[in-house]
Amino acid sequence: MQIIPVRTRLFREGENLREFIVESIPVLQAGDILVVTSKIVALAEHRVIASNRNKRQVILEEAEESVETPWCLLTRNGNDWCANAGVDESNANGSVILLPKDPKESAKRLRDEFGNREIGLILTDTRTVPLRQGTMGMALAWAGVDQLKDYIGTPDLYGRPLKMTKANIVHALAAAAVLVMGEGAESVPIVIIRDSGVPINFEASGEVGDVAMLPEEDLYQYLFVAKSASRVDNTPIL
């Protein structure tokens, strides 16, 4: 698999994103997966506000639900939880950039602007991961690729049927792409993933909430519940 970073000039608010991509990537091959940071999608869609606006108020306006923490507001839209509703001041030239209003539709529309070419498209964001330091790239939305590969019922190396394994294809591809995109001044808002072995499915599309789990279904809920109980009775859990 090749992960090809595409260094570009600065993308400006309101520019035509397809034209910018074509300018930056002369040729896309059948089977390529085009990975684009959601920040330039938001810029293309004028999802930018002045930095003098009250950031907390903006976050609350962008979120369906919020939970206060000592570090940020944890916010929910649909099934997706993240910090501060994705409101971001980095690489914003003194403004504040929001997430695309409808990432799934943005991904489908951008994918469709390339016609019937056999390519997939992923819009990325970066997120913190529970119980892990640092941020990781994740797929905010996608079109042209399936989100999961289901191994349930298939044999492992020794013929044992797998019972629970589902590989998260879109997040794995996004994480690989964001690794070379960087999160500072790298100027790599686009990555081509080539020869990945991931089939192109023109009908497939989705967004991050489609691969989220409800808290009551998540393995780690038991850890958080247990740790919360331990603070009450002083009984160590871990």
Q: Judge whether 36 lies within some domain.
A: yes
pLDDT tens profile 28-37: 999 999 999 9
Q: Judge whether 237 lies within some domain.
A: no
- Residue 238 is predicted with a pLDDT of 42
* Number of domains comprising the chain: 2
- Token look-up 């009250």 returns 54
Q: Judge whether 208 lies within some domain.
A: yes
pTM across the whole model: 0.91
Residues 125 and 210 in one domain: yes
- Residue 231 is predicted with a pLDDT of 56
| Cα–Cα distance measured from residue 118 to residue 110, given in angstroms and rounded to the nearest whole number | 14
Q: Judge whether 90 lies within some domain.
A: yes
Decide: 63 and 77 in contact? Cβ < 8 Å: yes
- pLDDT for 90 beyond 80: yes
- Residue 229 is predicted with a pLDDT of 67
Decide: 206 and 174 in contact? Cβ < 8 Å: no
Residues 167 and 125 in one domain: yes
Residues 185 and 78 in one domain: no
Residues 195 and 111 in one domain: yes
- pLDDT for 232 beyond 60: no
| Cα–Cα distance measured from residue 227 to residue 221, given in angstroms and rounded to the nearest whole number | 10
Q: Judge whether 234 lies within some domain.
A: no
Beta bridge partners of 123: 36, 141
Instruction: Work out the pLDDT band at 146, boundaries 50, 70, 90.
Output: very high
> What is the H or E stretch that residue 83 is in?
strand 80-83
Mean pLDDT of 108-115: 93
Question: Helix, strand, or coil here: 204?
Answer: coil
What angle is formed at CA 5 by the lines to CA 4 and CA 7, rounded to 5 degrees? 145
- Residue 177 is predicted with a pLDDT of 98
Q: Structural domain of residue 60, as residue ranges?
A: 48-98
Residues 22 and 92 in one domain: no
Residues 150 and 218 in one domain: yes
Using left for φ > 0, alpha for ψ between -120 and 50, and beta otherwise, residue 80 falls in: beta
| Cα–Cα distance measured from residue 143 to residue 147, given in angstroms and rounded to the nearest whole number | 9
Read off the CATH number of the domain in which 174 is found. Answer: 3.30.1330.100
Give the number of other CB atoms < 10 A from CB of residue 78. Answer: 11
Residues 206 and 114 in one domain: yes
DSSP 153: T
Residues 161 and 57 in one domain: no
- pLDDT for 150 beyond 80: yes
Residues 195 and 132 in one domain: yes
Q: Judge whether 235 lies within some domain.
A: no
Residues 28 and 56 in one domain: no
- Residue 161 is predicted with a pLDDT of 95
- Residue 83 is predicted with a pLDDT of 93
The per-residue pLDDT of the chain, averaged, comes to 91
pLDDT tens profile 56-88: 999 999 999 999 999 999 999 988 999 999 998
| Cα–Cα distance measured from residue 26 to residue 218, given in angstroms and rounded to the nearest whole number | 43
- Residue 236 is predicted with a pLDDT of 45
Residues 76 and 168 in one domain: no
Q: Judge whether 189 lies within some domain.
A: yes
- pLDDT for 19 beyond 50: yes
Closest residue by Cα to residue 96 from 64, 59, 134: 59
- pLDDT for 234 beyond 80: no
Residues 169 and 193 in one domain: yes
